[in-house]
Amino acid sequence: MKIAVVTPPVRDMYFTPGRNSALGMHTVSSHLSRMGETVTLFNFPGDNPGGFSIPPLKETEHLTPFLIQGEKGPVSFFTGYRQFGPSFEECAARITATEPDVILISCFAFAYAEDTVELVKAIKETGCTALIGAGGGGVSAFPQYFLASGIDFAVTGESEKVIPSLLKELHRTDPDFSRVPNCYTSIHHNKIEGTVPPSYFSADSSDLEFIWSITGETKKTRYISTSLSRGCPRRCRFCSNFLTHGREFRKVPIGKIISGVTQIPTDKHTVINFEDDNLSFDPEYLFEILKIFTVHLPERSFMAENGMDYSFLDSSIVKALAKAGFRQLNLSLGTLSTVSAESEYRHLSLSKYENVLEAAEQSGIAAVTYFISGLEKDSPEAAVAALRYLHNLPTLTGISPFYPVPGLPGFTDTELFLTHSPSLCRGASFYPWNGTLSTAQLVTAFRLSRYSNLKKKGGRSETECRLIELSEREHRLYTVVRKHKGNRIIPVPHLDTAMVEMFFST
Ligand code: SF4
């Protein structure tokens, strides 16, 4: 059977190479190949990583006043939308040219559900009659949304438990997808209702494979991404990990990593990025993995761009990570306020966090600390207090505006996601889901974090020094725009002036 496994193009304001790893797609295709199927891979965002400019999405018009044409430099916001990957028509033509019997689409986040729907539409317009299914993190959150687009089946959860029975049905002349675990179907059931899977099926540790992919390459460096663990027993209310991976922590068997790592080329310095949500949960396992990579790749360094939970770290672990080849620690704090931490079921120990940060500084590795703005108990005052706190510590600040997906606590009513576009379920939409911070306040917090990071940057240009001077004198944020081949410093409009004043005067 010929199967096309596809990651659709993405429409967004930014797309980093790390998000291009398509590990879900590679996991599915590796499983299918091992079962003897003929697989063709299409990782469309990887085909055109720079993307092309597209008109603003009408669902995110609320952002228009905050976009400044020509804005650039270290304090800039986003300037517009791009499509990362070819046009949907070109993608459809390339997929159907391989004459697949089945097309499996990976939607890794619900925010990109409309990109999957657009691709399905374009494929159908070619007259292609292949069966089309979808899976991944986005589908796991709300499979019925995808069924409504006319696909034949939608699979939730982890693919390892699903693929064997899915293939069995796909090989039949009259497949019955209701026999496949975690499979919602529109063929034999009502399109919107689908079938309710009998129970949650997640993979056993022994089912997990070592999957990795190359996300970038220069003359001297190769960047690869992998994810070696699944699931998390913690219950932070803002986290959607459990919708796809469940609550049990599992990890790829060490033996599979030892044999799989030998496939990674050794001719360049290699940066290994762990995409795991919770790799530091088992430090013993983590250090064993680092050792395996080090033996195979003497020229390597490590990253964990999705963030490491500081609560599993201590100063000796941080020092050992630095020694092993981590050049930067991405620390996820979630929230810095006690009230929010309680309401989000999130642990918070600032003294522990500060110890971790101190150890990073002593080990000579940089730190970036992430927190979420716009949580249910957040406020403009709490957001500024968090920014000020991090501003005074040896760390850069990463801010993620809160966004829900269907199924998160407080967002289980799927009707909400039929009346609100999935595009709003991305941080870069700055949508006030909880109403605690408005869009202007979310954008203000984001811009203040950029300003704070500029203040910590070495080797600042003359323009950047002037911008800082103006901002501090006037308690107002400024930015840089390109004008007639030169740069101009202008004040940023539409910000929350009270938050800016609070930031500069405390
Ligand atoms: S945020 Fe991290 S610790 Fe919390 S539930 Fe998600 S993966 Fe687990």
Express each pLDDT in 239-267 by its tens digit: 999 999 999 999 999 999 999 999 999 99
Sequence-ordered list of residues with C-beta below 8 angstroms from that of 259, at least 6 positions apart, any chain: none
Q: Which residue carries 């269907």 as its tokens?
A: 406
CA–CA dist 163, 159 (Å, integer): 6
285-307: average pLDDT: 95
Q: What's the gap in Å between 175 CA and the centre of ligand 1?
A: 37
Q: Is 239 in the pocket of ligand 1 (CB under 6 A)?
A: yes
- For ligand 1, whether the C-beta of 232 sits within 6 Å is yes
Amino acid at 179: R
State residue 303 phi and psi, 5-degree precision: -140, 160
Rounded to the nearest angstrom, the distance between the alpha carbon of 98 and the centre of ligand 1 is 40
Distance 236 CA to ligand 1 centre (A): 6
Q: What is the mean pLDDT of residues 225-236?
A: 94
| Nearest in space to 393 (alpha carbons), one of 448, 338, 456 | 456
Query: Would you say residue 198 has pLDDT above 60?
Result: no
Tell me the average pLDDT across 386-401. Answer: 97
For domain 205-456, the CATH superfamily is Aldolase class I (3.20.20.70)
* Mean pLDDT along residues 375-400: 98
Mean pLDDT computed over 445-450: 98
What stretches of 162-224 show up as alpha helix (H) in DSSP? 163-170
Identify any residues that bridge with 478 across adjacent strands, giving them in sequence order.
Answer: 491
What is the atom index within ligand 1 of the atom nearest the CA of 238? 1
How many Å lie between the centroid of ligand 1 and the Cα of residue 277? 7
Mutation pick for ligand 1 pocket among 240, 250, 278, 340 (CB with most ligand atoms within 8 Å):
278
Q: Is the CB of 162 under 6 A from ligand 1?
A: no
pLDDT of residue 194: 41
Q: Quick check: CB of 234 below 6 Å from ligand 1?
A: yes
241 lines ligand 1 (CB under 6 A): yes
Q: Which helix (H) or strand (E) holds 133?
A: strand 131-135
Name which residue leads in pLDDT, 459 or 87.
87
Please state, rounded to an integer, the average pLDDT across all residues of the chain.
93
pLDDT at 121 over 80: yes
Domain chopping of the chain, boundaries = 2-49+85-185, 205-456
The best mutation among 229, 234, 243 to test binding of ligand 1, ranked by most ligand atoms within 8 Å of the C-beta, falls on 234
pLDDT at 288 over 90: yes
Of all protein residues, the one whose alpha carbon is nearest to atom 3 of ligand 1 is 234
CA nearest to 315, candidates 277, 367, 353, 368: 353
Question: 363 alpha carbon to ligand 1 midpoint, in Å?
Answer: 26
Q: Is pLDDT above 90 for 3?
A: yes
Q: Indicate the Cα dihedral angle 235, 239, 240, 245, nearest 10°.
A: -50
Q: What was the pLDDT predicted at 178? A: 80
Residues whose CB falls within 8 Å of the CB of residue 290, separated by 6 or more in sequence, listed in order: 302, 321, 324, 325
Average pLDDT value for residue range 396-406: 97
Q: How confident is the model at residue 458 (pLDDT cuts 50, 70, 90)?
A: confident
What does each C-alpha distance from 242 to 64, 135, 426 come to in angstroms?
Answer: 34, 15, 18
Name the residue of 227, 230, 232 whose CB sits within 8 Å of the most ligand 1 atoms, as the mutation to test its pocket. Answer: 232
Instruction: Tell me what pLDDT residue 186 has.
Output: 66
Q: Is 309 in the pocket of ligand 1 (CB under 6 A)?
A: yes
Q: Considering only CA atoms, which residue is closest to atom 4 of ligand 1? A: 236
445 lines ligand 1 (CB under 6 A): no
- Return all residues near 325 (Cβ < 8 A) that are at least 6 apart: 290, 294, 300, 301, 302
Q: Above 90 in pLDDT, residue 18?
A: no
pLDDT digit string (tens) for 314-371?
999 999 999 999 999 999 999 999 999 999 999 999 999 999 999 999 999 999 999 9
- Does the beta carbon of 236 sit less than 6 angstroms from any atom of ligand 1? yes
CA of 237 to the centre of ligand 1 (A): 9
Compute the distance from residue 454 Cα to the ligand 1 centre, in Å: 29
CA distance 214 to 505: 46
- Predicted local distance difference test score (pLDDT) of residue 196: 45
Query: Average pLDDT in the 282-293 region?
Result: 96
Place 199 in a pLDDT band, splitting at 50, 70 and 90.
low
Kindly state the average pLDDT of the residues 64-80.
Answer: 93
In this prediction, residue 187 carries a pLDDT of 54
Structure tokens at 98: 């391989």
Q: Beta partners for 398? A: 370
pTM for the model: 0.94
Residue among 235, 277, 370 to mutate when testing ligand 1 (max atoms within 8 A of CB): 277
Classify strands 229-230 and 300-303 as parallel, antiparallel or unpaired: unpaired
| CA angle (354 as vertex; 349, 355 as ends), nearest 5 | 100
Nearest to 159 by CA among 60, 71, 57, 230: 230
How far is the centre of ligand 1, averaged over its atoms, from the C-alpha of 480 (Å)? 37
Cβ–ligand 1 contact at 221 (below 6 Å) = no
Cα-based distances in Å from 485 to 68, 266, 479, 482, 488? 16, 43, 16, 6, 10
Ligand 1 geometric centre to CA of 291 (Å): 25
pLDDT band at residue 197 under the 50/70/90 scheme: very low
Ligand 1 atom index nearest CA of 232: 8
- Phi-psi map region of 234: left, alpha, beta (phi>0 left; psi -120 to 50 alpha): beta
pLDDT at 484 > cutoff 50: yes
**Helix (DSSP H) and strand (DSSP E) numbers for the chain:** 18, 22
Question: Which of 310, 380, 320 has the alpha carbon at shortest distance from 350?
Answer: 310
Q: How far apart are CA 307 and CA 328, in angstroms?
A: 10
Task: Say if ligand 1 is within 6 A of residue 383 CB.
Answer: no
Ligand 1 pocket check for 278: Cβ under 6 Å = yes
Q: How far is the CA of 234 from the centre of ligand 1 (A)?
A: 6
Q: What is the pLDDT of residue 20?
A: 81
Ligand 1, atom 6: closest residue by C-alpha: 239
Q: Is beta strand 52-54 parallel, antiparallel or unpaired with respect to 153-155?
A: unpaired
Neighbours of 434 (CB within 10 A): 16
Which CATH code of 3.40.50.280, 3.40.50.300, 2.30.30.60, 1.10.1740.10 fits the domain covering 2-49+85-185? 3.40.50.280
